[in-house]
Amino acid sequence: MNSIALKAKNIVKYFNDPVTLKVLDDISFEVKTGEFVSIVGKSGCGKSTLLYILSTMDTTYEGELEVNHQKVTGLSLNQLAAIRNSSIGFVFQFHYLLPDFTCLKNVMIPALRLGKYSYKEVEERAYEKLKMFGVEEQALKHAGKLSGGQQQRVAIARALINDPAIIMGDEPTGNLDSKNTAIVFDLFQRLSKEFQQTIITVTHDEDFARRSDRIIEMSDGRIINQH
């Protein structure tokens, strides 16, 4: 039986400006290790807000969150930053690469920050990740010189440099054409099936969601369906 990679229990979130508004209402679910989950729903339903809580970047919520069997609710900002850097990889709709840095250096940055490996080891690991995604030939090019699809693959390589247990994506294919969307989906599926890395994505792409292991559907701050 698969272990539980992430567990959300009775998550409630309010926005208080200009008036108090409940944006997440009693959210509870579990994600198994190696599962590929898509969170869907109309704009404004709370799915991106939920993802930022799941990723530990937003701490102003009620309820409890566990990541890799560790309760993260209530931990200090420094403790949460350490958990994010070692256990969670994040892929955004926009790649957020540093355009004047090489692709290799962009991928290396989180591992250098983690401080677990020597510079040479980090460099070798970064090359491995770029090779996994078919962009190793771009390693020494400035990130700003790459196509959008190549940049997103480099961004995913960067998210994976520390071998995180969980990869979270906020509309990771939102800026990509259908060809590159298919490439990114296949990469995520491979990470899930071959490497047992857990994938949690927020997406508006129905085809992308349909091909994942499970869909969590949200409306008005609540989970209305899981299938």
Cα separation, 210 vs 169, in Å, equals 16
Look at residues 94, 59, 89 and name the one whose alpha carbon lies nearest to residue 73.
59
The domain ranges of the chain are 35-56+75-226
Q: Which two tokens stand for residue 171?
A: 């509309």
Residue 23 pLDDT: 94
Q: For the chain (length 227 residues), average pLDDT per consecutive 10?
A: 87 90 94 96 91 93 93 94 88 84 94 90 94 89 90 90 92 85 89 93 92 95 93
Q: What is the pTM of this model?
A: 0.90
Q: Which two tokens stand for residue 23?
A: 């944006």
Q: 152 φ, ψ to 5°?
A: -70, -35
Residue 1 pLDDT: 44
Residue 199 pLDDT: 96
Residue 2 pLDDT: 65
CATH 3.40.50.300 fits 35-56+75-226, yes or no: yes
> Is residue 7 within 8 Å of 35, Cβ to Cβ?
no
